């Protein structure tokens, strides 16, 4: 994104220039008082003077220490202000001549005077002009000011992106192919009387390739692509956004057939009138402008507006009416197969070692968006380069994955023996709970190397899930509780290390009760826990949805779920105490152990216990 020039910079530069001008003119000669001047003349120290209408510049025969504002300075030249004409000094010329001073006169230059008196006024004019321009926001005017049109929104005459660059998203592509088809061949549709969508809303989490898809549509159709982020419409002055929208649509129409892409539509497209402290004029005006531009399209305008959002639920219903963004294309997080496809796209021109296994990488990156995967490929390349490798190996990918998901290792962080022990048992608790509970995800590895904000991690190997069963949720909760339960059982005290576990567990339990009808008192109801980013007005309004009594029951249900999970974990860990001790000891020794090792220890200890319980007869 090009940076807009801060209007204060030229202003400050002007002010500074003016100040410097005042300081320097007319030369940096010390300014002395009229009395001092006369004394110097009387002492025959002055050789020559240049008299202008308001001041005298004098030249001494030899350098002299002259008083200045900050002290004294040795100078040969000085200036002195003449007394005003009303006061005058009739005898001055005679006095100078008597002391043999050469007299020169200088006709007054008008420029310094003009600048001194008009300077501030000019500055004010420039200032207002500048803001007027901004306020107008008209690209045309701004262009005269030396800013390019492209600064306000991205314009591409030819887009090189095609659908081949977008991996996965089969349905989305099929839907958008129709748009491409229309842009290429509008007559075919018009003959049949078919109306083509004005606006298509791409809905999905960040980084899933919405922008990419929009560009691909333009690329496939071979039409210009005008893109802007809705947040860029928001400016300090009311009306700027609206006028920018106007120019954007004007330009797109001029270059029709074309595509307008508005990113982050929700930042201006939120329901009007929501939010606290009255409406937001600028936002509403901008939104209204978009709506009226879209309505204003003639039947035969070949401009299609694509917009992206990850919160379609908070969009103003007016945006979603027929003739506006009446089509929604879901651009979700990629599935296992799609992740592999996306990885393929992003390793296309990277040298890979033969051991790189994209299937495996796709499997260990559930929940990753396209942008995350791109980042992963890039990080792997960086790590390979840092190690001086000629090709990127699987190990580089796995290291990059750790770095992205777990944060950087913090080698500098030194823990005491006691703290390390607490962390080891904490992580062992998570690990054992994960392995023992039937519906929890298995462990990939456990580590007590501090990374990012965490002192240790237990990395699960999540399954691909669309629907999540309550059994899995309960086991997940128990796994989260595993850290604290282990500390309590085996270290004799508890630490602050479980904060994040509890936060996540509470969030999960809250959703179980409020969203998924899994609370004891709320079997078939969804109040909506509103975990996403909500804006204040709606949140407050929603609070009223349920009574104090309901709120109390919600709390009760959440607490019950969490308490149950904790109690269950404690039972599990107690039953596997031998394994706990062994895993913790191994963690203290090796710092990181793989999931297989955890499972092996669990198998060994249960075999030993079984043989102890039933000694061979």
Task: Look at phi and psi of residue 23 and say left if phi exceeds 0, alpha if psi is from -120 to 50, else beta.
Answer: alpha
CA distance 2 to 306: 22
**HEC letters along 238-265:** CCHHHHHHHHHHHHHHHCCCEEEEEECC
Q: Is 427 a catalytic residue?
A: yes
Residue 453: how many CA atoms within 13 Å on its side-chain side?
7
Contact between 49 and 101 under an 8 Å Cβ cutoff? The reply is yes
Which of Zn ion, ligand ADP, none does 342 bind, CB closer than 5 to 8 A by kind? ligand ADP
Size, binding site for Zn ion by CB under 5 A: 2
Q: Binding of ligand ADP at residue 262 (CB under 6 A)?
A: no
CA distance 67 to 5: 44
Sole window of 210-218, 245-253, 488-496, 565-573 interacting with ligand ADP (rule: CB under 6 A): 210-218
Toward ligand ADP, which CB reaches closer, 392 or 443? 392
Toward Zn ion, which CB reaches closer, 267 or 434? 434
CA distance 188 to 193: 9
Long-range contacts at 340-346 (CB < 8 A, ≥ 24 apart): 341/167, 341/168, 342/167, 342/168, 342/370, 342/373, 342/374, 343/373, 343/376, 343/377, 344/167, 345/165, 345/167, 346/373, 346/374, 346/377, 346/378
CA distance 397 to 382: 10
Toward ligand ADP, which CB reaches closer, 330 or 415? 330
Q: Binding of Zn ion at residue 450 (CB under 5 A)?
A: no
The residue annotated as part of the active site, out of 427, 476, 487, 586, is: 427
Tokens of 242: 């609206």
Size, binding site for ligand ADP by CB under 6 A: 17
Interface residues for Zn ion in 484-513 (CB under 5 A)? 501
Out of 200, 201, 212, 307, the residue judged to bind ligand ADP by CB under 6 A: 212
Shortest Å, Cβ 445 to Zn ion: 15
Helix (H, G, I), strand (E, B) or coil at 594: strand
Which of Zn ion, ligand ADP, none does 511 bind, CB closer than 5 to 8 A by kind? none
**HEC letters along 317-371:** HHHHCCCCCCEEEECCCCCHHHHHHHHHHHCCCCCECCCCCHHHHHHCCCCCCHH
Toward Zn ion, which CB reaches closer, 49 or 440? 440
Shortest Å, Cβ 522 to ligand ADP: 34
Q: Binding of ligand ADP at residue 209 (CB under 6 A)?
A: yes
CA distance 253 to 263: 19
Shortest Å, Cβ 579 to Zn ion: 18
- Dihedral angle computed from the Cα positions of residues 436, 441, 442 and 446, in that order, rounded to the nearest 10 degrees: -100
Site string for ligand ADP, 166-185 (x = CB under 6 A): xxxx----------------
Residue owning tokens 């699987």: 394
Tokens of 303: 């401009």
Which of Zn ion, ligand ADP, none does 483 bind, CB closer than 5 to 8 A by kind? Zn ion
Crossing angle for the helix pair 548-575 and 470-486, to the nearest 10 degrees:
70
Q: Binding of ligand ADP at residue 456 (CB under 6 A)?
A: no
Contact between 524 and 517 under an 8 Å Cβ cutoff? The reply is yes
Q: Binding of ligand ADP at residue 364 (CB under 6 A)?
A: no
Q: Binding of ligand ADP at residue 219 (CB under 6 A)?
A: no
Q: Binding of ligand ADP at residue 206 (CB under 6 A)?
A: yes
CA distance 494 to 291: 57
Sole window of 162-170, 475-483, 488-496, 513-521 interacting with ligand ADP (rule: CB under 6 A): 162-170
Toward ligand ADP, which CB reaches closer, 168 or 456? 168
Contact between 359 and 236 under an 8 Å Cβ cutoff? The reply is no
* Host H or E run for residue 38: helix 34-42
Sole window of 244-252, 367-375, 410-418, 500-508 interacting with ligand ADP (rule: CB under 6 A): 367-375
Shortest Å, Cβ 479 to ligand ADP: 30
Tokens of 416: 């005491």
Toward Zn ion, which CB reaches closer, 251 or 487? 487
Residue 464: how many CA atoms within 13 Å on its side-chain side?
12
Site string for ligand ADP, 370-389 (x = CB under 6 A): xx--x---------------
Question: Which residue sits closest to ligand ADP, CB atoms considered?
Answer: 370
CA distance 460 to 431: 9
Q: What is the DSSP letter of 554?
A: H
Toward ligand ADP, which CB reaches closer, 11 or 345? 345
Q: Binding of ligand ADP at residue 26 (CB under 6 A)?
A: no
Sole window of 401-409, 414-422, 480-488, 543-551 interacting with Zn ion (rule: CB under 5 A): 480-488
Question: Which residue sits closest to Zn ion, CB atoms considered?
Answer: 483
Q: Binding of ligand ADP at residue 339 (CB under 6 A)?
A: no
Which of ligand ADP, Zn ion, none does 501 bind, CB closer than 5 to 8 A by kind? Zn ion
Shortest Å, Cβ 206 to ligand ADP: 4
Shortest Å, Cβ 202 to ligand ADP: 7
Q: What is the DSSP letter of 490?
A: I
Toward ligand ADP, which CB reaches closer, 56 or 377? 377
Out of 137, 370, 483, 595, the residue judged to bind Zn ion by CB under 5 A: 483
Backbone CA torsion sign across 111, 116, 122, 127: positive
Sole window of 207-215, 244-252, 439-447, 536-544 interacting with ligand ADP (rule: CB under 6 A): 207-215
Give the residues lining the site for Zn ion (CB under 5 A).
483, 501
Which residues does the annotation mark as catalytic?
A: 427
Give the residues lining the site for ligand ADP (CB under 6 A).
166-169, 206-212, 308, 342, 345, 370-371, 374
């Amino acid at each position: 994104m090009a940076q807009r020039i801060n209007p204060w910079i030229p202003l400050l530069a002007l002010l500074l220039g003016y100040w410097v001008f005042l300081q320097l003119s007319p030369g940096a000669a010390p300014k002395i008082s009229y009395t001092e001047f006369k004394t110097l003349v009387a002492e025959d120290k002055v050789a020559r003077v240049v008299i202008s209408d308001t001041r005298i510049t004098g030249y001494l025969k030899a350098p002299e220490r002259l008083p200045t504002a900050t002290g004294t300075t040795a100078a040969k030249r000085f200036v002195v202000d003449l007394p005003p004409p009303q006061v005058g000094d009739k005898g001055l010329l005679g006095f100078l001549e008597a002391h043999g001073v050469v007299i020169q006169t200088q006709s007054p230059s008008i420029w310094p005077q003009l600048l001194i008196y008009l300077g501030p006024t000019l500055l004010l004019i420039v200032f207002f002009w500048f803001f007027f321009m901004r306020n107008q926001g008209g690209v045309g005017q701004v262009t005269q000011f030396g800013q390019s049109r492209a600064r306000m929104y991205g314009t591409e005459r030819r887009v090189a992106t095609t659908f081949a660059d977008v991996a996965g998203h089969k349905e989305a592509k099929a839907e958008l192919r129709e748009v491409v088809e229309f842009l290429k061949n509008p007559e075919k549709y018009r003959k049949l009387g078919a109306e083509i969508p004005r606006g298509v809303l791409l809905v999905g989490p960040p980084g899933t390739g919405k922008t990419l898809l929009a560009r691909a549509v333009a690329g496939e159709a071979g039409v210009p692509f005008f893109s802007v982020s809705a947040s860029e419409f928001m400016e300090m002055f009311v009306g700027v956004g609206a006028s920018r929208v106007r120019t954007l649509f004007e330009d797109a129409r001029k270059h029709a057939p074309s595509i307008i892409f508005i990113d982050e539509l929700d930042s201006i497209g939120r329901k009007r009138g929501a939010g606290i402290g009255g409406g937001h004029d600028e936002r509403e005006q901008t939104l209204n402008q978009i709506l009226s531009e879209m309505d204003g399209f003639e039947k035969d305008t070949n401009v299609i507006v694509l917009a992206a959002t990850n919160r379609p639920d908070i969009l103003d219903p007016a945006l979603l009416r027929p003739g506006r963004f009446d089509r929604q294309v879901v651009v979700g997080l990629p599935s296992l197969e799609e992740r592999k496809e996306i990885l393929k796209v992003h390793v296309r021109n990277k040298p890979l070692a033969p051991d790189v296994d994209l299937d495996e990488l796709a499997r260990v990156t559930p929940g990753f968006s396209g942008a995350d995967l791109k980042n992963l490929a890039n990080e792997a390349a960086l790590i390979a380069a840092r190690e001086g490798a000629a090709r990127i190996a699987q190990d580089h990918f796995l290291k990059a994955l750790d770095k992205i998901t777990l944060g950087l290792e913090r080698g500098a962080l030194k823990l005491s023996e006691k703290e390390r022990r607490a962390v080891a048992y904490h992580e062992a608790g998570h690990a054992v709970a994960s392995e023992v509970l039937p519906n929890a995800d298995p462990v990939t590895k456990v580590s007590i190397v501090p990374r990012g904000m965490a002192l240790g991690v237990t990395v699960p190997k999540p399954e691909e899930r669309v629907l999540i069963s309550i059994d899995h949720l309960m086991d997940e909760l128990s796994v989260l509780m595993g850290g604290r339960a282990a500390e309590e059982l085996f270290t004799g005290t508890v630490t602050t290390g479980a904060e994040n576990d509890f936060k996540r567990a509470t969030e999960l339990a809250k959703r179980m009760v409020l969203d998924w009808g899994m609370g004891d008192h709320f079997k078939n109801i969804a109040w909506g826990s509103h975990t996403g980013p909500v804006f204040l007005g709606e949140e407050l309004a929603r609070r009223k949805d349920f009574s104090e009594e309901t709120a109390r029951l919600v709390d009760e249900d959440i607490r019950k779920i969490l308490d149950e999970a904790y109690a269950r974990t404690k039972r599990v860990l107690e039953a596997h105490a031998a394994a706990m001790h062994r895993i913790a000891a191994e963690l203290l020794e090796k710092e990181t152990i793989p999931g297989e090792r955890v499972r092996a220890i669990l198998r060994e200890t249960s075999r030993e216990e079984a043989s102890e319980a039933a000694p061979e007869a």
